[in-house]
Structure 1
Amino acid sequence: MSCDFIALANRGIQGLQPYQPGKPIEELERELGLRNVVKLASNENPLGPPASALRAYRNAAEDLHLYPDAGGFELKACLSAGLAVSPAQITLGNGSNDILDLLARVFLDEHSSAVFSQYGFIVYPIATQAVGATAKVVPAKDWGHDLPAMAAAVDESTRLVFIANPNNPTGTCLGEEALRQFMAAVPERVVVVLDEAYAEYVGDDAYPDGVALLSDYPNLVVTRTFSKAFGLAGLRVGYAVSHPQIADLLNRVRAPFNVSVPAMAAAVAAYTDMAYLARSREVNEAGMAQFTKGLAELGLAFIPSAGNFITVQMPGAALPYYQALLHKGVIVRPIGVYGMPDHLRISIGLAEDNARCLTALKHVLAEGVGTA
């Protein structure tokens, strides 16, 4: 081959590594000849999709020959009523990752910078670097966001700040007063992205509702998703709520049909299915208690989490433990890419799956994995 196509790409993309998703169940079963594999790697809802969303999805299949409503009228109307915001403030995305990418495309270029935390979601540096902007990574505090330090990192070049609340992969959570102090310290010309992908799982009454803060801070953008608590990860539906001018800018670069016909129908059904959401929270709370108790009994340190996952510190490099767990039919997530090579992130599953993971952990620890 005479042409180096990588050299033709923009410089930011040349240095990127692709996002690494969790290992699929089917792939592991093929590789190792296993059956009944348990996947606790991608923070998916263990309940499966809501029955109401499945019905809406199947009904929408009658219209698969038609393009989706590019404006997403019905889904926006549903979100508008539930959040008490104007439809003009809502931007729909192919998952909330899509929204994060749109924000980078709209506000960043090679002359600007974005600020985010050391252990922030991996999409923040990817989106920033892809458009040639400078990433300003602020050291974490207690595995979470050091908001005063992040405010201090903002300079004349800064156009975006990314904050995940709760944070993935560490599960840390910020309170309202801390967020308000941060917003007061940041110039209005800096757009602050509050990524609330796990918001529906937080049981703390002190947890701040980002959408409720929008009226006080026009430079705030709140992103949310249907992939976690609403059980629709496979359909890829997310959204942002923001000032109408920001929403208008996002919609200028958003692909016109970025959310499919059945995905929007299922999202409307899921959003109004309060019984399913309550059950999701209930299962998550019980599973979190099961894991915190079990991990403590195994002598493993973990980071207290407000999400639907828990991050565990292994006694040494985590990758050998991850690989040993694969051979026992349990998929978790190594997070060395986040600069946490001694940690595994484990999604909360059904009680029997959590128990199987804890048993597998007990066995691999007893086998001395990673200590040779």
Structure 2
Amino acid sequence: MPVTPRPGILDIRPYTPGAADAPGVANPVKLSSNENPLGCSPKAKEAFEAASKKLNLYPDGGARKLREAIAEVEGLEADRIVCGCGSDEILQLLGRAYLEPGDKVVQSEYGFLVYRLVAMTSGAHFVSAPETGCRASVDALLEAAGDDAAIVFLANPNNPTGTYLSGEEVRRLRAGLPEGCLLVVDEAYAEYVDVPDYETMLPMARERDDTIVTRTFSKIHGLAALRLGWAYADRSIIDVLNRVRGPFNVNLPAIDAGIAAIRDIEFREKSAAHNREQVAYLTQQLRGIGLEITPSVGNFVLIHFPETTGKTAADADRFLTARGLIVRPLVPYNLPNALRLTAGRADDNRKVVDALTEFMAA
């Protein structure tokens, strides 16, 4: 008889990443995982290659030099930063440290799937707050949180919708949450945002002892393969996370590449500029062929398809895949008639536009 896991574990559906292969196509274009189409900083690549000569050594268990580099660039305190194997690990650590079976966890309706996994892994009760127009609602989140939420997860900007809440709205959310509720603001796409009313919540995390902000090196820094993320919070929260994380949870090449990447402002600005141009292009062109696009401040667009037979999101996905263009179906997010498209290189984006133009005209 097999060993039985804790109740609820077998109810978890493992996270499925964006596809990378198109059957029968030798070199498909992968636009399913919101990766940086420009690659990574050349300086980060050099640091990674240099680190390959030290693979016999354990990494610094506290990633001190990386935390100091992040603090230097972002204007933060290094001892209020913790690094992880991607920001996903930090989210899991928060569940391990702050959730008990039966606790309430809240997120917006189309929030990142990992938040649900954090709750289920901890045996917590998960509540999804309705969105309006694929945008989180502060009022709905507060209603869902009630007076007993343990953690509220807010992706700002949100994946997979690309929408965001203003700084004023996030502060209203924080002010309305019950005492003792941890607000987790996931800013994985923050570096791409270029709108006047968006604000990082790093200053709020500095002021409060019940708020944490997470960031990642996987998106604008282009280091997805190295699995590297960080978080900023009150020292009391950082102390807790350091107690529950593994002693060497960030590997040496990731630390060295991360230090180079965070300091390469030129590459970050180049990536953001490319993204602004390509998201605008995709939005304009796809709307022009009759598709509904949710306005996005991330490095992707959310495309809504008709319910007409032959023109659905599933039909479009098959059509694109057959041509070696891989996008992200959103059935797991309860968006069955939408696809998420990463803003890739200009020529790849044109291929998608041309293919969808043909698809819609057929």
Is the shorter-chain TM-score for this pair beyond 0.5, marking a shared fold? yes
Residue in structure 1 matched with residue 352 of structure 2 by the alignment: 357
What is the correspondence of 1:44-123 to structure 2 with a 5 Å cutoff?
A: 44-123=35-114
- 1:14 equivalenced with 2:7 (yes/no): no
Residue 4 of structure 1, CA deviation: 4.6
Q: Distance in 2 between matches of 1:324 and 1:10?
A: 42
Aligned partner of residue 215 in structure 1, secondary structure? helix
Residue in structure 2 matched with residue 134 of structure 1 by the alignment: 125
- 1:340 equivalenced with 2:335 (yes/no): yes
Aligned partner of residue 58 in structure 2, secondary structure? coil
Amino acid in structure 1 at the alignment position of 2:220 = A
Residue 205 of structure 1, CA deviation: 2.8
Q: Distance in 2 between matches of 1:71 and 1:209?
A: 25
- 1:234 equivalenced with 2:204 (yes/no): no
Task: Say if 2:146 and 2:178, in contact at 8 Å, map to a contact too.
Answer: no
Task: Say if 1:183 and 1:217, in contact at 8 Å, map to a contact too.
Answer: no
Residue 156 of structure 1, CA deviation: 4.7
Q: Distance in 1 between matches of 2:6 and 2:338?
A: 33
Aligned partner of residue 340 in structure 2, secondary structure? strand
Q: Distance in 2 between matches of 1:157 and 1:86?
A: 31
What is the correspondence of 1:163-242 to structure 2 with a 5 Å cutoff?
A: 163-242=154-233
Residue in structure 2 matched with residue 36 of structure 1 by the alignment: 27
- 1:327 equivalenced with 2:322 (yes/no): yes
Task: Say if 1:302 and 1:313, in contact at 8 Å, map to a contact too.
Answer: yes
- 1:254 equivalenced with 2:254 (yes/no): no
What is the correspondence of 1:143-154 to structure 2 with a 5 Å cutoff?
A: 143-154=134-145
Residue 352 of structure 1, CA deviation: 0.3
Aligned partner of residue 8 in structure 2, secondary structure? helix
Q: Which ranges in structure 1 are unaligned for 5 or more consecutive residues? A: 368-372
Task: Say if 1:111 and 1:157, in contact at 8 Å, map to a contact too.
Answer: no
Provide TM-score, normalisation by structure 1: 0.94
Residue in structure 1 matched with residue 254 of structure 2 by the alignment: 263
Larger mean Cα displacement after TM superposition, 146-155 or 277-286: 146-155
CA RMSD between the two structures? 1.2
Task: Say if 2:34 and 2:300, in contact at 8 Å, map to a contact too.
Answer: yes
Aligned partner of residue 286 in structure 2, secondary structure? helix
Task: Say if 2:306 and 2:337, in contact at 8 Å, map to a contact too.
Answer: yes
Amino acid in structure 2 at the alignment position of 1:325 = L
Amino acid in structure 2 at the alignment position of 1:176 = G
Q: How many corresponding residue pairs?
A: 358
Q: Distance in 2 between matches of 1:84 and 1:159?
A: 29
String of CA shifts for 1:147-204, please: whole Å, max 9, x gaps: 1221122245421000000000001111111111111111331000000000000011
Residue 251 of structure 1, CA deviation: 1.1
Provide TM-score, normalisation by structure 2: 0.96
